[in-house]
């Protein structure tokens, strides 16, 4: 687990001791101490996919997202499709009562466009809202309905069939109750969904009579709570209950509270066992939910650089503590706040946001399939974070340092071999996102072969150091 050490002068010093300037931060990387493989980024198109389709430069935007970035997952919302209960038998579907959008007239359109650009692409589907008739006054889920779980399983299956039959694709990963704590669903109620709905859905999929289309069973992702703090609490209770835990394939959380606390992610990572760990949603559009009033004082982050720096710090905490797939909420949106990687007003040219370039440095500079490695920062301010990768077969590492500080400083970069001895650095390529740069290479150096590489760390920037030894 990455460790950040911050050393400060004591508040009261003896009068005879001179004041000493704060030391520059030292970033120590152990490239042979592999933690987990960082698989890929992800992004969503539940909303505003039509804005992308209407963009005059949409082909360029698709290239930005699915070739220039390491994004192998597209997240889409399931269609409402069932305005009223189709019938009283949750084991039989009256297809005439279900209303789906025509093919290529929903968010699946993005998947069709992106797949040729990235054949690895997988689909994450989630129910962002329960069917209206399964809710109380159109709001909270109606768990008093004795057929709630069976009807919900039927509705999910109908959506999976539509994906397969109309769109020609399977759902790879399914999020059954996205942000349950936001929707007023308690821990035990959510547990009941995984305990009951997953076996019922699996029965639909495995029944060739009811499933002649060859729909496959997706992996189940959970619990996707608003924060790793709540996710940790729920998993702590569920892990000892086989009827729940056996129906979860991927552990997931959102990063909308306590996201800067490495301990929250480290504890979820310790609970997940052999299951992958996804950070399944985050965006830098709302400072209050990010719980960082000193960095983001406004309710909406209008400053692109501030959003990029926030992403750098949150990504470093999550991926540095076990996350293998990191989702930035939306691929495109017309909103002014940075809820998406690309800004796309309807019918107008789309442009990349500063968070796009930060995401590129954080997730896409390294060789695909690289390992996250152990890092350590000493003498750094609280606004400084690091994430680093090593492919395992190259004598090369990618180290991205995010600094939110208002002033520049020196920095020492130190690499250690398998035995903890210094690795003299041979070459360094430096890339930067800052107020004036967007993931641009700013320097190429061949430093003297010494134990420490000393460099400058400018104010308010993300710097990626591609180093060889």
pLDDT digits (tens, 9 = 90+) for 13-44: 333 334 334 689 999 999 999 999 999 999 99
Phi-psi region of 119 (alpha: psi -120 to 50; beta: other; left: phi over 0): alpha
pLDDT digits (tens, 9 = 90+) for 293-322: 444 434 444 578 989 999 999 999 999 999
Question: Which of residues 13 and 289 earns the better pLDDT score?
Answer: 289
pLDDT digits (tens, 9 = 90+) for 331-359: 999 988 888 999 999 999 999 999 999 99
Average the pLDDT over 264-291 and give the result.
86
How many CA within 13 A on the CB side of residue 324?
17
pLDDT digits (tens, 9 = 90+) for 135-145: 998 888 999 99
Q: What is the pLDDT of residue 157?
A: 97
Q: Which domains does the chain have, with CATH numbers?
A: 3-35+372-468 (2.60.40.1180), 39-365 (3.20.20.80)
Alpha helices in 207-335 (DSSP H): 228-238, 242-245, 262-271, 287-290, 304-319
87 CB burial (10 A radius; 0-12, 13-18, 19+):
exposed
Q: What are phi and psi of 435, to 5 degrees?
A: -60, -35
| Token digits of residue 227 | 């924060």
Q: Which residues contact 303 (CB under 8 A, 6 or more apart)?
A: none
Tracing tokens 């990768």 back to the chain, one arrives at 389
Question: Which of residues 9 and 294 earns the better pLDDT score?
Answer: 294
Judge whether residue 155 has pLDDT over 60. yes
What whole-number distance in Å separates Cα of residue 33 and Cα of residue 417?
9
β partners of residue 342 = 332, 352
């Amino acid at each position: 687990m990455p460790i950040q050490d911050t050393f400060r002068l004591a508040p009261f010093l003896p009068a005879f001791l001179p004041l000493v300037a704060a030391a520059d931060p030292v970033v120590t990387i152990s490239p042979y101490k592999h933690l987990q493989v960082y698989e890929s980024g992800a992004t969503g198109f539940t909303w505003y996919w039509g804005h992308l389709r209407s963009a005059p430069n949409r082909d360029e935007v698709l290239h930005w997202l699915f070739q220039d970035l390491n994004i192998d997952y597209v997240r889409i919302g399931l269609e409402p499709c069932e305005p009223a209960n189709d019938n009283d038998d949750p084991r039989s579907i009256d297809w005439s009562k279900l209303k789906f959008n025509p093919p290529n007239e929903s968010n699946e359109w993005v998947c069709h466009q992106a797949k040729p650009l990235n054949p690895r692409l997988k689909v994450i589907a989630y129910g962002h809202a329960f069917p209206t008739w399964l809710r109380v006054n159109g709001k909270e889920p109606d768990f008093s309905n004795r057929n709630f779980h069976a009807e919900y399983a039927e509705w999910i299956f109908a959506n999976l069939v539509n994906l397969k039959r109309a769109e020609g694709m399977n759902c790879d990963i399914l999020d059954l109750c996205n942000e349950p704590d936001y929707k007023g669903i308690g821990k035990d109620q959510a547990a009941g969904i995984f305990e009951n709905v997953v076996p019922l859905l699996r029965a639909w999929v495995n029944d060739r009579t009811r499933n002649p289309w060859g729909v496959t069973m997706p992996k189940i992702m959970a619990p996707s709570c608003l924060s790793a703090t709540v996710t940790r609490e729920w998993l702590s209770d569920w892990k000892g209950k086989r009827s729940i835990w056996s129906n979860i394939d991927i552990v997931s959380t959102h990063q909308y509270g306590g996201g800067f606390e490495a301990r929250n992610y480290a504890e979820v990572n310790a609970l997940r066992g052999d299951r992958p760990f996804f950070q399944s949603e985050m965006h830098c559009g709302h400072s209050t939910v990010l719980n960082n009033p000193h960095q983001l004082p406004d309710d909406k982050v209008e400053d692109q650089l501030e959003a990029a720096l926030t992403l750098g710090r949150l990504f470093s905490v999550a991926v540095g503590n076990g996350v293998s797939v990191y989702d930035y909420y939306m691929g495109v949106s017309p909103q002014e706040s940075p809820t998406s990687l690309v800004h796309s007003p309807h019918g107008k040219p789309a442009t990349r946001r500063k968070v796009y370039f930060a995401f590129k440095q954080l997730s896409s500079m390294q060789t695909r399939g690289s390992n996250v490695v152990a890092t350590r920062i000493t003498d750094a301010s609280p606004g400084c974070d690091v994430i680093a990768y090593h492919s395992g077969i190259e004598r090369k590492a990618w180290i991205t340092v995010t600094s939110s500080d208002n002033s520049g400083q020196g920095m020492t970069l130190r690499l250690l071999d398998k035995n903890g001895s210094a690795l003299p650095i041979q070459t360094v390529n430096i890339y930067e996102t800052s107020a004036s740069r967007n993931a641009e290479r700013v320097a190429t150096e061949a430093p003297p072969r010494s134990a420490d590489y000393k460099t400058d760390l400018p104010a308010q920037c993300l710097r990626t150091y591609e180093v060889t030894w």
